[in-house]
Amino acid sequence: MRRLKLITVTMVLVGLWVLALPGAASAFTGFEPGVADGQEYREVVFLGGTPEVFKGTVKETVKKKGDIVQINLRYKLESESGTGKLNRTVKLTSQVETRGDQEVYVTELDNYNETIETAGQKFKTKKDYVFFSGSRVIDHQPAVDFITGNWYLKKVYEAGRRDKSEVMVELSGQTEGYNNVWGSGETRTMDMVLRGEPTCPIWQGTVRMAMNDNLCRDLIYVPSQPELISFTGGFVDELRGEELLTADYDLLPGQVPVENERGRRTRDQDEDEDEQNAAEEDDSDIYGGRNQGVFNLSAYSPPEQRRLFVKECKDVRGHWAQRPIEAMCGLGAYDIRGDYFHPGVACRRGEFIRALVTVGGLDIEPEEQQKAGRRRGQDQEQAYFFDVDSRSPYYKYVQTAGKKGLVETHEKFFRPDDNLTRAEAVTILVKAMGLEHLAPTPQFSTGFKDDYQIPSWAKDAVYVAQEYGLIRGDFTGGLRIFRPHDIVTRAEAAAMLDRFREFLNQDLRQDYRDHLYRYLP
């Protein structure tokens, strides 16, 4: 499996940061109702009065210069029934404004051309009658990027009929997403309105849609089958992609050529009947009622797998933290020499930061930033701490932690060989995710019996960690205790980091998919 990295691609509003998937998945613009499996793109069209799926390819070209991002998209699709076609070209330009750790993308439409053949009719967007505006903000936290945005799209089609009828389609939506080295997800909710203009009532309808796409990276333990082998098992690093679309539609079916006993009706017959029915008062009665229903579309990318290095230590066999320890060793979070891990030994601050930076992918810097730094002669950056210089094995990890605000830098001493406390570990983990602000206003309790012992600088993080399941604490006499000043052992640190990895994958996915993917009133 290739190393997961953050790349800039243009989705709804240009600038969504996602984990890369091959093929058409990165080309999906977001404001069109479709899904991709890495090989093929599929989109649902409602202009014919009933959902019709088109499939094919999307070609994407992205150009970046300074704070300007331009994207060109070319869709070439055919209906699954083989009777329709969809061709679309889109050109978008985004202006990027950066302030601190946040970026705001404001996107405008340069060009939009679309031709759709569906239900025996041809629809073509009118020149200068397509409008798009959108904006999104990306908040770059140390281990996670959080994304939110809104957009609006209006397009007018010529219906290709003798009376030159027009159809207007409006799309408005909101998106919420996240991205990190262990997974990414985005949920978009959209409302579509179709209206006939100026005097054609047959295109009248609404569609409410929810769309979710996510990438999930898991560590899967696979035991060895033979007995005569040097290790009992190991981990597989697996990446899977999933895209889901649900649409609740309420349309008039009158625009669909219907079958009768003599076969499919001709377009002229439909047009003559449309002219006659246009004078009626109740469109739903004319066309046999509303065409209502729920439509689902999904796509699943094939899994990508990579075996991790195997490291089995004699002193962790049967240990309660054996699997987390072996997983962290396989990822390279711990550099173990010899056959012993020493799970009960105190974890040092330096080695915890090294492991966190490795597991959270915090040392991954975009290639263009690396090149820019080299051009400016920034290879030799100034050390944040007097007691961790460039000769230290922890140097680049502690530098990353200082740069990203995981540890305080004003004192100028990091103390890499000091023992790590539980309060320090939890504070660093919550800061890495950027979630410490979820704690309530002052004068709150974390819910632990020893709440009064928690340092003020750690209390927000401890509250968030227990509230959202990152830690549980211990039970004594039926009450939970946190033990903030206790030293974290190497086994406990490995378990904390493994739970941190799961949180970046499973907990965020559950919140953004299962919680937000509820669009019906």
- Rounded to whole angstroms, how far apart are CA atoms 149 and 318? 48
Judge whether 330 and 358 are in contact, CB under 8 Å: no
When pLDDT is cut at 50, 70 and 90, the band that residue 63 belongs to is very high
Residue 323: per-residue pLDDT: 97
Angle CA 109–111–116, to nearest 5: 115
Q: What is the DSSP letter of 218?
A: E
Angle CA 10–12–17, to nearest 5: 50
In a domain, 515, yes or no: no
Taking only the tens place, the pLDDT of each residue in 161-182 is 666 788 999 999 999 999 999 9
Look at residues 166, 307, 185, 164 and name the one whose alpha carbon lies nearest to residue 234: 307
Residue 381: per-residue pLDDT: 76
Residue 4: per-residue pLDDT: 31
Mean local confidence (pLDDT), 377-381: 59
When pLDDT is cut at 50, 70 and 90, the band that residue 150 belongs to is very high
Residue 518: per-residue pLDDT: 61
Look at residues 173, 170, 191, 185 and name the one whose alpha carbon lies nearest to residue 247: 191
Question: Same domain, yes or no, for 76 and 220?
Answer: yes
Judge whether 166 and 126 are in contact, CB under 8 Å: yes
When pLDDT is cut at 50, 70 and 90, the band that residue 200 belongs to is low
In a domain, 309, yes or no: no
When pLDDT is cut at 50, 70 and 90, the band that residue 31 belongs to is confident
Residue 252: per-residue pLDDT: 78
Residue 414: per-residue pLDDT: 95
Residue 262, pLDDT above cutoff 60 = no
Residue 257: per-residue pLDDT: 38
Residue 365: per-residue pLDDT: 57
Question: Same domain, yes or no, for 273 and 325?
Answer: no
Taking only the tens place, the pLDDT of each residue in 229-258 is 999 999 999 999 999 999 999 997 654 433
Cα of 516 vs its chain's centroid, Å? 13
- Rounded to whole angstroms, how far apart are CA atoms 186 and 243? 10
Mean local confidence (pLDDT), 490-498: 97
- Identify whether 198 is preceded by a cis peptide bond (ω within 30 of 0): yes
Coil, helix or strand at residue 27: helix
Judge whether 78 and 85 are in contact, CB under 8 Å: yes
**77-91, 277-291, 362-376, 379-393: lowest mean pLDDT where?**
277-291
Q: Residue 233: what are its φ and ψ, rounded to 5°?
A: 170, 180
**Which of 334-343, 348-357, 478-487 has the highest average model confidence (pLDDT)?**
348-357
- Rounded to whole angstroms, how far apart are CA atoms 6 and 303? 19
Residue 231: per-residue pLDDT: 94
Residue 268: per-residue pLDDT: 46
Question: Same domain, yes or no, for 240 and 212?
Answer: yes
Residue 27: per-residue pLDDT: 35
Residue 443: per-residue pLDDT: 84
Element (H, E) at 446: none
In a domain, 216, yes or no: yes
Residue 17: per-residue pLDDT: 25
The tokens for 503 are 């949180």
Question: Same domain, yes or no, for 219 and 300?
Answer: yes
Coil, helix or strand at residue 419: strand
CA dist 66 → 87, 368, 519 (Å):
31, 12, 38
Residue appearing with tokens 């969809």: 86
Q: Could you write out the DSSP letters of every residue in 293-313?
A: EEEEEEEEEEEEEEEPPP---
Mean local confidence (pLDDT), 305-317: 95
Taking only the tens place, the pLDDT of each residue in 434-492 is 999 999 988 899 999 999 999 999 999 999 999 999 998 888 778 899 999 999 999 99
Residue ranges making up the domain that contains 246 = 6-304
Judge whether 173 and 208 are in contact, CB under 8 Å: no
The tokens for 67 are 């704070």
Question: Same domain, yes or no, for 255 and 388?
Answer: no
Positive or negative torsion for Cα 328, 332, 334, 335: positive
Residue 9: per-residue pLDDT: 29
Question: Same domain, yes or no, for 225 and 325?
Answer: no
User: What residue type is 108 in one-letter code?
Assistant: E
In a domain, 170, yes or no: yes
Question: Same domain, yes or no, for 320 and 260?
Answer: no
In a domain, 232, yes or no: yes
Look at residues 213, 169, 166 and name the one whose alpha carbon lies nearest to residue 191: 169
Residue 281, pLDDT above cutoff 90 = no
Residue 265: per-residue pLDDT: 40
When pLDDT is cut at 50, 70 and 90, the band that residue 290 belongs to is confident
CA dihedral 98→102→108→110, nearest 10 degrees, is: 60
Give the total number of structural domains in the chain: 2
Residue 477: per-residue pLDDT: 79
Residue 379: per-residue pLDDT: 54
Q: Could you write out the DSSP letters of every residue in 228-246?
A: SSS-SEEEEEEEEEEEEEE
What contacts 24+ positions apart, CB below 8 Å, involve 90-99? 90/29, 92/10, 92/14, 92/132, 93/14, 93/68, 93/69, 94/10, 94/13, 94/14, 94/15, 94/68, 94/69, 94/70, 95/67, 95/68, 96/15, 96/67, 96/68, 96/69, 97/67, 98/67
Angle CA 453–455–460, to nearest 5: 110
Last residue within a domain, chosen from 241, 274, 304 = 304
The tokens for 292 are 């209502």
Coil, helix or strand at residue 62: strand
Question: Same domain, yes or no, for 420 and 494?
Answer: yes
Mean pLDDT of the chain: 84
Residue 475's DSSP bridge partners are: 480
The tokens for 198 are 């100026």
In a domain, 196, yes or no: yes
Residue 358: per-residue pLDDT: 97
What's the per-residue H, E or C state across 159-195? CCCCCCCEEEEEEEEEEEEEEECCEEEEEEEEEEEEE
Residue 22: per-residue pLDDT: 29
Last residue within a domain, chosen from 255, 273, 304 = 304
Question: Same domain, yes or no, for 137 and 229?
Answer: yes
Taking only the tens place, the pLDDT of each residue in 400-434 is 999 999 998 888 999 999 999 999 999 999 999 99
Residue 198: per-residue pLDDT: 58
Last residue within a domain, chosen from 304, 330, 348 = 304
Residue 155: per-residue pLDDT: 94
Question: Same domain, yes or no, for 293 and 319?
Answer: no
Question: Same domain, yes or no, for 300 and 411?
Answer: no
In a domain, 62, yes or no: yes
Residue 189, pLDDT above cutoff 80 = yes
CA dist 454 → 55, 262, 348, 485, 493 (Å):
57, 81, 20, 8, 19
Question: Same domain, yes or no, for 122 and 234?
Answer: yes
Residue 282: per-residue pLDDT: 45
Residue 382: per-residue pLDDT: 87
In a domain, 518, yes or no: no
